[in-house]
Every structure is written in C-alpha cells, then in structure tokens.
Amino acid sequence: MSNLTVPTSATGTACATQEQMIQRTSNLFFNNVYWNILFHVLFFLFSPFLWSLERSYTYKSDPCSIMFTEYECFPFYRLNILSRLLVMFNYIFLAIDILLNLRNIREPTKARGYVFIVFTFITSVALCAYMTGDGPNGNIMANCLSRTGRDLNELKGQLWIYVGMIVFSFLLNVFSFLMSWSRNKVRQGNVNKTYQNIVNFNSSRFLLITATVSMLIMVVYPTGVLCLVGLVDTYDRSVLGNYVLWVYTYTYASLVLPASLFFYITYIERKRKNQVNGEVKNVEAAEKVQNHHFKDLENLWEVGFEKAVKAGKQPALTPVE
C-alpha cells in the first residue's frame, strides 16, 4: 500500500495516506455526517469546521488538503476536552451543594454558587491542562475533536479518567439522593427545616435523574473507544476514525441538562396551574352550595312571614343596635 505522507510542520502541508483517503471519502463517513446533522442541527451550525464536512467535499480528491494538522486543530481539541470536563464537574459540585444543605439547613446563597462556579472552572482547566499537556505534534487529524496517531496507553489513560469521573459523579449523586430521602422522611418540628428538606429532596431527585441520563450517555464514548482500540486488529483500520465518531455521544449528554430544566419547569408550571384550577373549582362549588343554602333560608323566611301575616300575627323583630 503506497504511502503518500510527507514531512509535516506547523506551516507545511499534510498529505493523507491511501487508507486515510478511503476513510475520508467513504459512504460510511458521509452517512455519519448526515446522521449527526439530523440529530443535532444546532451543533453543526457553529462547528462544521470541526467535523470537516466542508473540507471533505472540497478536497475529496486532494490528499494533501483533506486532513487537518494538530497545529491548526489543537485549540479546538483542547476546548472540546474542557467542555466535557465542565459538564462532569458541574454535576459533581451540584451534588456537593445538596450535601452541604443537608448539613446546614438553609437556603443556598449566591456566594456559594459563585464559589462552586469558580471551583468547577479551576478544576476543569487544571485537569484539561494535564490531559492535553503534551501539546500538538506532527500527526494529521480527520477532525478537530479527536486525535489520531496517539500512544494507545496514553489514550486509554485519558479514557479511564473519563470513566472514573463519570462513576464518581453518579455515586455521589446517588448518595446525595439517599441522604435527602432519609432526611425528608424524618418529621421536623420546625416548619423551615421541613420545607428545606422537601426542597433538598426534590432537587436531589431531579439532579439524580438528569445526572444519570447524562452520565450514561457520556460513558458510551470512552467505553466505546476502549472497545474499538482493544479490537483494532479485528477490522479494517481505515474505518477506525468513523467508528469512533459513531460512539461520540457527548453532544447528546450536554443537551440533557438544559432540556431537563425546560421540561421540569414546564411540568411544575402545569402541575401548579392544575392545582390552582382545582382550588378555583372547589371554591366555585362551595360558593354555589352556600348561595343555594342562603336562597333556601330566604325562601323559608318569606314563607314564614307570609303565614304569620295571614294569621294576624306580627313577627317579632330584634332591633339592631
């Protein structure tokens, strides 16, 4: 198999091999792009460059231009790693916030929220710097989201970091939910504590469901890549990059939280509206019964008064002072 690769530098050209040309011009790649566009159009509106859709069409027959170099892709790759870590640390610190509320029953302050935002950003940046500290090299890349030509042990180490964070986040959210559930079952003499326990329980329940769905989606990527790398000798290497794209589910996971917030708020508003409508109907029914009762009393009074007048008796009226 001929090798078309030429020396690569920060400013030079990068030629694809024959295997890479097959990978970038195959129907498998184009179908992958079409399905990604179908499922998350918004993501593609601002990142066609990352998936190299335009580049694949423009340089379909040019092996020296169809691929990216790490020098032009590395900032986007690093931002991709950072955004994934931000999502993971966000769920972790939200669970920690609920646990702190259980230890000290009071409404979370803005200061605590700002502190958690800062810690989320700092920890994500620090871990991202550690995971991408080797910097760009002479490899050429199919897109700016995943690196090719890496050491397999280094790649597996990075993927195991993802898996460890996902498992830790899930277990922490389960623990916060169980603590909130047990605290909510204990009767409190203080109304404020009772109310706060209910708030903590509802928050932990919503966070557990959201984090579970999001983490399950995110764990598909590292486990899928680990399986593909472990079985790389059992299939054609020229399609490895496309197989990796098919397990790339980070976009779905990042949409879980805002989508859950939207549906959760909509559900609460609808439930509240139904409760208000139910109370209004109850009040209207009670008013009808009350009006009917007073109408009956009025009729009885008029009938009794007429009978007394006909009998020549004047009903005694109590003066109102």
Using CA atoms, how far residue 153 sits from 25, 160, 164, 196, in Å, is 29, 10, 16, 48
Q: What's the pTM? A: 0.58
The dihedral through the CA atoms of 290, 291, 294, 296 has a sign that is negative
Helices (H), ranges, 11-63: 18-25, 27-39, 41-45, 48-51, 53-58
Q: Which two tokens stand for residue 320?
A: 């109102």
In whole angstroms, give the CA distance from residue 48 to residue 70. 17
On whether the CB atoms of residues 180 and 98 are closer than 8 A, the answer is yes
Give the N- to C-terminal CA distance of the chain in Å, as an integer: 114
Q: Along the 321 residues of the chain, how does pLDDT read in single tens digits?
A: 444 444 445 445 668 777 777 777 777 777 777 776 676 666 655 555 566 777 778 888 888 878 888 887 888 888 888 888 888 888 888 788 777 776 664 555 667 778 888 888 999 999 999 888 877 877 777 777 777 667 777 777 888 888 888 888 888 888 877 877 777 666 665 656 666 667 666 777 777 777 777 777 777 777 887 788 777 777 776 777 777 777 776 666 666 666 666 666 666 666 666 665 666 666 666 677 777 767 766 666 666 656 655 665 555 555 545
The pLDDT tens digits for 295-313 are 766 666 666 656 655 665 5
Q: What's the DSSP call for residue 233? A: G
Coil vs helix vs strand at 248: coil
Question: What does the domain layout of the chain look like in residue ranges?
Answer: 18-274
Neighbouring residues of 45: CB distance < 8 A, sequence distance ≥ 6: none
**Which residue has 């097959």 as its token pair?**
22
Percentage helix, strand, coil, to 5, in the chain? 75, 0, 25
Topology (CATH) of 18-274: Rhopdopsin 7-helix transmembrane proteins (1.20.1070)
Residue pair 211/167 in contact (Cβ under 8 Å)? The answer is no
